[in-house]
Every structure is written in C-alpha cells, then in structure tokens.
Amino acid sequence: MCQELHPGVWKMTLGQPEAGTPVRLRYFQPSVSGLKTLPGVTVCPVSTSKITWKLIPGGCVITLPLEIDEHIYGMGVQLYALDHYGKKKTARVNSDPKADLGDSHAPVPFYVSTKGYGVFVDTARYASFYFGSAKKKINRATKVSTADSQLEENQVTVEVPNARGVDIYIFAGPEMLNAIQRYNLFSGGGFVPPRWGLGFWYRCKIEFDQDQVIARAEEFRRDEIPCDVIGLEPGWQTHTYSASFVWSKLFPDPKTCVAELQQRHIHLNVWSHAFTHVTSPFYTKLFPYSGDYEVWEGLVPDLTLPETQKIMADFFEHEHVDLGVAGYKLDECDNSDFTQSNWSFPEVSLFPSGLDGEQMHSFMGLKFQEMVESIFRKRNQRTYGEVRSSHALAAPFPYVLYSDLYNHQDFIRGLVNSGFSGLLWCPEVRHAASEEDLIRRLQSVIFSPQALINAF
C-alpha cells in the first residue's frame, strides 16, 4: 500500500521494517510548511504497481521500475562517478573508498532520477542498489525484442541485508531539483550557518601549544590574512586515539586562549572523536552505554541512546563550550574495515540499544552530530563544524563532510555529488603537487560550503 504522507511525498511499507532506521531514529522532523510551498503534484511519480519485494535468506529484495533513458544521481558523497545508471552501488560506510563501488564517508540510500523523482530506502544496512545492471531472466528463444520489452526488462534492484522488510519513500518533482528539495525538507530542511562560519578556516599543526596558536592568530591579523576560525588537532587532549576529552598541558589555560582568539575575532574549533579512553572523566558512566568491542582501547558509545548523549553532551558543554569553544571537528565516526588499518569496530558488534555494528557505522556520524548540536541548540547558539561521516536525513545538521584522502578530482566529484543527497562537502586544502595545483585547490574550496586550509 502506498500513502501520501506530505505534499509530493509517498510512503510504502514492505514487510516488517527494522526499528533502527534513519526515519525511526531521526532527530529533526519534516518541514511540512516548506513542503507545502513546492509545486503541487497529485500523482505518485513512480508506478507503485511495478514495485515488488520478496524475502530472501539474507534479507529482502525490492525492485522498482527504471527506463533505459534515465540517469541516476545521489547515493551520498560519491568520489568516483556522477551518473550511477548501469552500475551497482553499495551504501557502505568507508573512510577510504578505493573504487566506484558505493563505499563512502557518507553513503545515503537515496537516489534521484532525471525523470523527476527521488527514492529513499529507509535503512541503516549496507544496501546494494543495482541501477539497471541486474536484469531478470527471460526466455530469449521466444520473446520478441521490441522497444517496449526493453523498457520492461530494466529495473532498480535493491538488496537490503539482514532485514525482513523496509519502508521506501518516493519524492515527486516535477523536476529533479524539486525531488531533491522534497527530500531535504522531509529531512527537516537546511540550516543557517553563523556568519563567522562562512569565512576562512585554518587548522593548526597537531603539536601546536596555546602560545603558538595565539601567535599564529596574531600573525594572520598582522599580515592581513583573512581567518575567522582556528581549529585544534588532537594534541589539545591529554590522550587521543582513544580520547580523554580533557585539555592537555599544551593548553594550561584554555579559557584565556579562547579569549585571546575572540579579541582577534577568531572562533575556536576543536578536534574530537567518540571513542572514550579510560582516563576520560565519564568513562565509568559511559561503560554500560557502550558496545561490546573497543577501538584503540576506548569505549564505543551507543550514541542512539539518550543516556549516552546526555553523559557526553554535559561534559562537552561544561568543559569546552562554556569556555567559548564554538564548534567541533568530529573525526573517525566512519569505518575502515575495508583497508589495511582496520581500526574501527566490527560489524558483529552489539550495542545496548539493540543495534549491531553495521547499523551503528551508519548512525555514528549522524548521532555524533546530534549530540553536539543538542548542546548549542539548548543554548540558542549557532555552531558550524566538520564531520567525517554522515548518512540519510542529514540536511539540518550544521556540519560539512571532509576526507583524509587527497585526490583533487575526487574532491570535485564529491563536491558535486553531495548536493544530490542533502549533504555538504569540503574539498579542504591539505595537499598540493605544484603551485598551480595549490591555486586550483584554493579555488575549489572557495566555492565549497567551507573554506578550510588544513596545512602548516
């Protein structure tokens, strides 16, 4: 059964969806008022009679119609291609994607078609999408080949592992842009960044201490180099990988450091990840609200739980934000089980909420953003930051995705692709092969959502 939830937004429930999905665990509600402002559409743009599904031993499979002249975009931040027609894409969290397989810092099970509609599969699983690349067999000895039959043979096949059902949402156009707008408004709409967040950002070297940070800020002002945000890397904490979240001896008086920067009209952003070291003051409180595997000898917090969010948010607010910290760089909330380092928690992890490691990898970046956003929202204060992983329904979060990769062409594709899925991407300047390459990278970052220089 297909029902219209909001103007131009339809929902189909197939089988028994899981409890842990992006929609069911969402933080922001749809912007219904915004949806009402878009062009009126009275008919679902996808023929629901052509949507089928079935259970398989490893999960469930959905098929949706696809015409041979459609082009498909979206699927989150994709670094290797724009058009996904004729390809298989797996929405799998990966900090170091090596090929055009769908792996991403921010995979989103949402695609949009040049026919003027979008489809969102509400799952945190590593769903695989076959965009016309998997076709049901036909008896080619008897079938007459006509244009109509070729159209009928094409389809989108979606495999959702470990699930016994799923909700799908269909977003109408009439134009492709309208379908993307509806998806973003269904996510909760966008955000208004603070004015200071639109200026230049500079991240300090990891070894910088308090005096060096202030000296660099003074150097910028003296030489009339524009800078509105200075970011601290992991060295500001007493222990990193995993994190203590406590100011190290490099910053003996962080409040004064923040005040010195503010006098120069510079805001402070600090690095962090969620893996919690035993020296963290809230380690014991967090222990029962964490998963059954460690990362770098630290707890992996179950950030889908309100108890976990409160423990971490209270500490972050009292020890950082109250001192004047304006935002965070949220690192390592993605996954790296597909490269040599294998540093993150495994998919077989179990969490107190009932989620497993596969689902938690999809939620980690979202819920990390949510925890920090809740601090500033409570204070009626805007923030703007960086995050290394995100997922579905992320448009309302004031965070820009970044990468530890370096290829400029990949960064450009990521910048273009991110807009199809309600995400923001920063092609940060952190490497250059030549003077011309540096200029090109500076040009790219200027036209991105965040002008970030991450280099000594």
Domain boundaries, the chain: 2-187, 195-383
Distance between CA atoms of residues 256 and 323, nearest Å: 9
Looking at 3.30.365.10, 3.40.50.300, 2.60.120.10, 3.20.20.80, the CATH number of the domain 195-383 comes to 3.20.20.80
Which residues in the chain come in under a pLDDT of 50? 147, 151
Q: What is residue 143's predicted lDDT score, i.e. its pLDDT?
A: 63
Output the pLDDT for position 388. 97
Read off the pTM. Answer: 0.95
- Give the CATH number of domain 2-187; options: 3.30.1320.10, 3.40.50.620, 2.60.40.1760, 3.30.70.260: 2.60.40.1760
Confidence at residue 1, expressed as pLDDT on a 0 to 100 scale: 75
For residue 336, the model assigns a pLDDT of 87
What order of strands is seen across the sheet that includes strand 52-56? 52-56, 59-65, 155-161, 128-131, 88-90
One-character DSSP codes across 320-362: TGGGT--EEEE-S-S--TTSSS--S--TT-B-TTS-BHHHHHH
Q: What is the DSSP letter of 48?
A: G
| CA–CA–CA angle 386, 390, 395 (5° rounding) | 85
pLDDT at 456: 67
pLDDT of the residue at 152: 53
Name the pairing type of β-strands 229-232 and 117-122. Answer: unpaired
Single-letter residue type at 84: H
Query: Do 452 and 428 contact (CB within 8 A), yes or no?
Result: yes
DSSP 321: G
Enclosing H/E stretch for 68: none
